Amino acid sequence: MTDRDIPLSEAGGILTVDLSALSANYQELSRRAAPAACAAVVKGDAYGIGLTRAAPALWQAGARSFFVALLAEARQLRGLLPEAEIFVLNGLFPGTEAAYREQALRPVLGSADQVERWSAFCADIGEGLPAALHVDTGMNRLGLTPAEAVNVAEGRDELGFPLVLVMSHLACADEPDHPLNARQLEDFRAIAALFPDVRASLANSAGALGDPAYHFDLVRPGIAVYGGRPRKDVAPLRPVVRLELRVVQLRRVHEGETVGYGGAHTALRPSRVAILSAGYADGIPRLAGASDLRPGAEAVIAGHRCPLIGRISMDLLAVDVTEVAEDNIQPGDFATLLGDGLSLDDLARHSHTIDYEILTSLGRRYHRRWV
């Protein structure tokens, strides 16, 4: 059983995905990136919201180029979108070359060895199959060195396959004034100039929402499509996910009593506490909880913002609902953790993490629905 199968009556929470917001976000990013084209990054099960629903919605919204991390993701995506251009970011694993041909997928070649293996495979089958080239400009993660990229450019006649994209990845685009951005831009311009007839791509979500100089021919937004906030100086687009957690029980806590594991939170007054049916096994970070030394995240119940108190457990968390009228909350009701003014960025900030991690971690045990 997966979260897609759990009936509402049996679930501890509801995860709602707004596909119209997803489509609107993609179209807004496309508008801002023009005249550059806009791809859609759908790795990690479309950032956790569900590839099988997200990918067709993005295709209907106009996306034609898609990026995933792994070949297994690309296979699934190809079954959903027979005509899409699909790039696999994590490179060409040994022995997988034939699968790329069978599924009409495009590997993003990130090392000289991968370039050589793809070239040899194309020579063996007598067919030049398109691929992308990833060149590292400062991330030091994946990609050829600039010197290796020069070698590829000088030997293109012997490659035996067409390059359809040359790309790099920004390391600090969420900090517009970081000096590494300008250095990466300068280096990538020089690399792109080596391949004047090949599309060039540098910008992720943060880059796509910033200076058009970073856009080149194709931008590759991910988190922004899903309603996250990739940079602090730009407002997020429309929220895509809403998370509501079921109230399991209501308790009265006396002044001086503690709540949760470790007795980390002490009630400073007689309090009413709602116990919600979700925890870190459901993607709620433990750091979203609170102690006597630091506040935690919030939930909205009956229109009130209520603080989470105590540590997050595997399956449960506690919320102080003292300010909510007793008639306005009952076991079986739902509290909102994402939505009603509470954003991914809010929960991430309280949890000392990023909205990417919040989104991609949500939900194996929720009742999931798409609207």
Active site members: 43, 261
3-class DSSP assignment, residue 196: coil
Read off the tokens for 97: 């070359």
CB atoms within 10 A of CB 369: 12
Angle between helices 179-193 and 146-154 (to 10 degrees): 10
Read off the tokens for 129: 């199959």
The type of residue at 324 is V
Read off the tokens for 57: 């919605």
d(CA 369, CA 224): 21
Read off the tokens for 92: 């060409």
Residue with tokens 């070949």: 71
148 to 44, 160, 184, 188, 295: CA distances (angstroms): 30, 17, 16, 14, 50
Q: Is residue 112 a contact partner of residue 82, using CB atoms and an 8 Å limit?
A: no
Q: Is residue 219 a contact partner of residue 201, using CB atoms and an 8 Å limit?
A: yes
DSSP state of 156: G
Read off the tokens for 101: 């041909």
Angle between helices 112-125 and 146-154 (to 10 degrees): 30
Q: What angle do CA 241, 283, 10 make, to 5 degrees?
A: 80
Query: What does the buried/exposed string (b/e) look like for 173-209 if buried means 16 or more CB atoms within 10 Å of the residue's CB?
Result: bbebeeeebeebbebbeebbebbeebbbbbbbbbbbb
Q: Is residue 366 a contact partner of residue 246, using CB atoms and an 8 Å limit?
A: no
d(CA 313, CA 347): 16
Beta bridge partners of 219: 38
